[in-house]
Amino acid sequence: MRRYLLAVLSVFILTLYSHPVWSCPFELPAVRAVIKGHELTIELATTPETRSCGLSLREALPKNQGMLFVYAEPEILTFWMKDTRIPLSIAFIDADRRIVSIQKMIPLQITPNHISPVPAQYALEVNQGWFEENGVAIGDVLRFNLPITLDIR
């Protein structure tokens, strides 16, 4: 009986903590950014927990808004679309804030992963097609100011 109760409890705990609703309750700081003269409002995901959550479970992303994933140091970044319902485009951005790659992302796909071709310190997700519609391309620079008190891990 004790084993049975432990098994049931284990399944309950795993279900509780793996369910996306419990993993994405974050309210993120936002800043204004400009790229090629186009202004965006971007939410900042700066910790492993907020980056893991990303734009998961959202039904829509307003026009000229996005999410900037911020890392403490440049590294090869890998993203997927698990639990993300919005068609997105992602720009991988180096430490100089210059776009090094732009990729289209398909909702709810676990593979393929979207990988930066070189170390990047930032990744910007926006509605799919936003970069093309605004003439933004590889080599363009994203301009933004991070809050001084921002926790980047």
Model pLDDT for residues 74-118, shown as the tens digit of each residue? 999 999 888 888 999 999 999 999 999 999 998 888 877 898 999
Residue 106 is predicted with a pLDDT of 86
Residue 13, SS3 per DSSP: helix
Residue 50 is predicted with a pLDDT of 86
C-alpha distances in Å from residue 153, one per residue of 44, 73, 84: 12, 9, 23
Pick the CATH number of 26-144 from 3.40.50.300, 3.40.710.10, 2.60.120.1140, 3.30.70.580: 2.60.120.1140
Output 51 or 139, whichever has higher pLDDT: 139
Confidence (pTM): 0.82
Q: Look over the chain and give the mean of its residue pLDDT values, rounded to a whole number.
A: 84
Q: What b/e readout covers 3-29, taking b as 16+ CB neighbours within 10 angstroms?
A: eeeeeeeeeeeeeeeeeeeeebeeeee
* Banded pLDDT at 129 (limits 50, 70, 90): very high
* 49 within 8 A of 26, measured Cβ to Cβ: yes
Give the start-to-end residue ranges of the domains of the chain: 26-144
Residue 52 is predicted with a pLDDT of 85
Tokens at residue 86, please? 């919005």
Residue 12 has pLDDT above 80, yes or no: no
Residue 2 is predicted with a pLDDT of 54
Place of tokens 């970044």: 77
* Banded pLDDT at 1 (limits 50, 70, 90): low
* 65 within 8 A of 40, measured Cβ to Cβ: yes
